[in-house]
Amino acid sequence: MSWSKLKQQLESFLCPALNGRVEYRATSYRYLPDKAGICYIAVDKKNVLNMSDINTLIRWYQTELEVKNDSDIQIPINNEEIEAVRIDTKGKVPEDRLKVIVRSRKISEHAKELMSAQSSLSKSNFIVVANMFLSISIEESLESNDILLNILALVDRRVGKKRILNMTEKMKLKHPIVQYFYELRLSTL
């Protein structure tokens, strides 16, 4: 599918409040057929997601340690996870320390997921992911670990107000760029 048709299809799925605010843009190299073009997403005429540039408005993590030390990341902990650690430690660890252990384990997992999602985004081809988005269900796009699929689904008109409002806890565990688009969509409700 040509870029212009793909762009037209993607923009036809934008929620009405974001129509004209969110744009999909691409550059290509006419005389360098072996060099891939650059695709990016602009919000209010500002490049927000440029897949080849890590120096954008949104924080990109360079190491897992940066993710672990980021105070903006909130990791929810439930009683079942605390109980599982209590069983693992055979009840020898104080209660307040159990929460620290659970949070540490969860943030390590979260850091690994964020780093793998970030690396797959930098290697991905926007056009391939966009075509995949158009061929799979909106639920699959929202549940995916792919950052770009999450973004395309969040700005989609098929995702209603109730579903957006119910995603607050899930969004805390997503990459900052996905959280940015979630906040953008929340601002239109």
Q: State percent of the chain over pLDDT 70.
A: 79
Number of neighbours of residue 130 by Cβ within 10 angstroms: 21
Structure-block tokens of residue 111: 């850091």
Query: pTM of whole model > 0.85?
Result: no
Amino acid at 32: L
In terms of pLDDT, which residue wins out, 182 or 120? 182
pLDDT at 113 (0 to 100):
76
At residue 111, the 3 state secondary structure works out as helix
Structure-block tokens of residue 173: 């565990």
Q: What is the pLDDT of residues 17-52, one digit of tens each?
A: 999 899 888 766 555 555 555 667 888 988 887 765
pLDDT at 32 (0 to 100):
54
Is pLDDT of 1 > 60?
yes
Q: What is the pLDDT of residues 77-113, one digit of tens each?
A: 888 888 888 888 888 888 888 888 888 888 888 777 7
pLDDT at 93 (0 to 100):
82
Q: What is the pLDDT of residues 150-184, one digit of tens each?
A: 999 999 999 999 999 999 888 888 888 888 899 99
DSSP 40-105: EEEETTEEEEETT-S-SSS---SSHHHHHH-TT------HHHHHHHHHHTTT-S-HHHHHHHHHHH
Average pLDDT across the chain, whole number: 80
Whole-angstrom Cα distance, residue 12 to residue 3? 14
pLDDT at 54 (0 to 100):
47
Query: Scanning the structure block, which residue is given the tokens 């897949």?
Result: 51
Length of the chain: 189
**CA count, 13 A, side-chain hemisphere, 113:** 14
pLDDT at 77 (0 to 100):
82
Q: Do residues 148 and 141 lie in contact, with contact meaning Cβ atoms separated by under 8 Å?
A: no
